[in-house]
Chains A and B, each alone.
Chain A
Amino acid sequence: MEKIDVVIVGGGLAGLSCAYALANKDLQVIVVERGDFPGSKNVTGGRLYLLPIKKMTGDMLDGAPFERKVVRERWSLLGDENSFTIDFTSTVLREKNHSYTILRSSFDRWLSEKLIEKGIFVIPKYRVDDVLWENDSIVGIKAGEEKIYANVVVAADGVLSFIGEKAQLKPAMVPQNYAVGIKEIIELPESTINERFNVGSSEGCAHLFIGDVTKGMFGGGFLYTNKSSVSIGIAIGIKALMDRAPLIEAHNLIDSFKERYEIKKLIEGGVISEYSAHLIPEGGFEGLSKLFGNGILIIGDAAGFALNMGITVRGMEFAIASGIIAAETILKAKEMNDFSQNIMSLYEKRLKETFVLKDLYAFRKIRTFLENEDLFSYYPRSFPELIEKIMWFGEGKKRKIGSTLWETMRSTGMLSFKRLKNLYKIKDI
């Protein structure tokens, strides 16, 4: 029985980063990918934050096909008929390489080509059906009749991770731990995007929305500018969709979002060229899978490494970092010639020293905080209402600003004991 060193299941950012960190180390590494090419089954909102992974990626992302550097952050509360937006830009966003919008089909494919040049085998169109066991160790994978034996199997097969499930690492998928993202690509000329979003060439905007976009359900809308397209969509908690009475058809939400006055002009004349959907792990720290076993590590979305921080949702830098740290562990295991969980456990230990588990742990209470439905219905209605009252000049005498503010805050219940008590919880997150 021929045994290679590592088989990585899934050619997304986690799997490819792991393979990259294993390249040129005298190891036999194979990446298997079920799509036509790496990237062909992947979807992001989305943007990638670079600074958390800067030190560990080395030259991996040199020459990467980024779409635009995010220099403008927008955040909108959508009432039923009005809205209130924060628009933030700064020199530091423009000068530092903070975050970039990307499209996964081209991004992941580019990274896989870089890997192939380094002598890593990337096998596309390859669906893995099962893992191979020997006593209580994983010793390889099975695809149809074909078996690949390896010292280490890396489960990098994404949020649905069938490998994690078969290897008994991944907990059963419960609706409260997942959101569904639904997205359209709308193509627009590069210059039109620059003008409409008030950004320079290769600069872009990231815009998040809460409120009417999900009809008050847990979740939000997003709009990211790419070079010559925008990624527009919604992400919505699956449990929230199931609890809604009467049920709302999820696919209709994106259409009503695009009809909003705030959006309509931004995408006018654009051509829809793709429609996609993907699950997002939102279980946070509590929702993580067991991270290692004998002969196996689990990385990226498969492990549950994503974090909804309210102000943004992060995932891809967690995927990249976990892939690289998995590779470090594998190198150590190879050196010791021990692929049991004694050595595999170093992976979790190292993750705890990096932002991956540090951030997931530090933000572990945010999920409960975000379960407060006021955040998605009451506040997105009340804030724009407040602004409307202040900005409105009617026929009669204009009421004093301060007293309008105070009266509206009181009458809409913003200062009620219940809301202030919930607001007080902000100190924990």
Chain B
Amino acid sequence: MKVEEKLALNVFKNDKESHIKIHQDICRKKCLTRFCISVCPAHLYSFNEETKEIVVEFAGCLECGTCKVVCKEGAIEWIYPKGEYGVQYRFG
């Protein structure tokens, strides 16, 4: 099963506003590794070749915070979604 299909099994209550902000200037200037793309368990990060930007699909976020830890450059500004938003685990 693809990771997108797995995410579709979860209960998400999504905010319109993203809880993850990416500072593209830092990505462009300082990042050679793009760890965010490979570590995210939900595979939400990608690199848009046209715009040369890191893109994140915040709506499927499992709220683990791995991306925040691997981004040593501090390009990822990550906070919890507002109360009542985000993933709601039914099993956990």
Q: How far is the CB of B70 from chain A (nearest CB, A)?
A: 6
Residues facing A in B29-65 (CB within 8 A) are 33, 35, 37-43, 62-65
- Measured between alpha carbons, how far is A42 from B64 in the docked complex, in Å? 10
Cβ-defined contact, B89 with A276, below 8 A = yes
- Measured between alpha carbons, how far is A42 from B45 in the docked complex, in Å? 23
**Residue A332 at the B interface, CB < 8 A?**
no
Q: How far is the CB of B71 from chain A (nearest CB, A)?
A: 10
Q: How far is the CB of A417 from chain B (nearest CB, A)?
A: 36
Cβ-defined contact, B69 with A175, below 8 A = yes
22 A-B residue pairings within 8 Å (CB atoms): A34-B81, A35-B84, A104-B91, A108-B92, A159-B65, A160-B68, A162-B79, A162-B80, A180-B64, A238-B39, A238-B66, A238-B70, A241-B70, A249-B38, A249-B43, A273-B9, A275-B62, A277-B42, A277-B64, A277-B66, A278-B64, A279-B65
A173 surroundings in chain B (CB, below 8 A)? 68-69
Interface size class of A (residues with CB under 8 A): 35 or more
B21 surroundings in chain A (CB, below 8 A)? none
Cβ-defined contact, B64 with A251, below 8 A = no
Dominant secondary structure at the A interface: mixed
6 further A-B contacts with Cβ under 8 Å, apart from A104-B89, A173-B68, A275-B62, are: A35-B86, A44-B92, A174-B69, A275-B7, A275-B9, A278-B62
B82 surroundings in chain A (CB, below 8 A)? 127
Cβ-defined contact, B65 with A276, below 8 A = no
Q: How far is the CB of B33 from chain A (nearest CB, A)?
A: 7
> With A159-B65, A277-B64 in contact, is A182–B41 under 8 Å at CB?
yes
Q: How far is the CB of B6 from chain A (nearest CB, A)?
A: 4
**Of listed B33, B89, B90, residue having the most chain A CB within 10 A:** B89
A248 surroundings in chain B (CB, below 8 A)? 38
Cβ-defined contact, B79 with A185, below 8 A = no
B3 surroundings in chain A (CB, below 8 A)? 251, 275
A178 surroundings in chain B (CB, below 8 A)? 66, 69
Q: Closest chain A residue to B7 by CB distance?
A: A275
**Residue A125 at the B interface, CB < 8 A?**
yes
- Measured between alpha carbons, how far is A238 from B71 in the docked complex, in Å? 11
Cβ-defined contact, A105 with B41, below 8 A = no
> With A41-B63, A275-B10, A279-B64 in contact, is A180–B91 under 8 Å at CB?
no
Cβ-defined contact, B69 with A279, below 8 A = yes
- Measured between alpha carbons, how far is A180 from B70 in the docked complex, in Å? 11
- Measured between alpha carbons, how far is A255 from B1 in the docked complex, in Å? 8
> With A274-B10, A275-B9 in contact, is A241–B39 under 8 Å at CB?
yes
Cβ-defined contact, B9 with A104, below 8 A = no
Q: Tell which of B7, B43, B66, B81 touches A180, judged by Cβ atoms closer than 8 Å.
A: B66
- Measured between alpha carbons, how far is A259 from B33 in the docked complex, in Å? 29
**Residue A250 at the B interface, CB < 8 A?**
yes
**Of listed B43, B72, B82, residue having the most chain A CB within 10 A:** B82
B1-32: contact bitstring with A at CB < 8 Å (1 yes, 0 no)? 10100110110010000000000000000000
Q: Closest chain B residue to A143 by CB distance?
A: B83
A423 surroundings in chain B (CB, below 8 A)? none
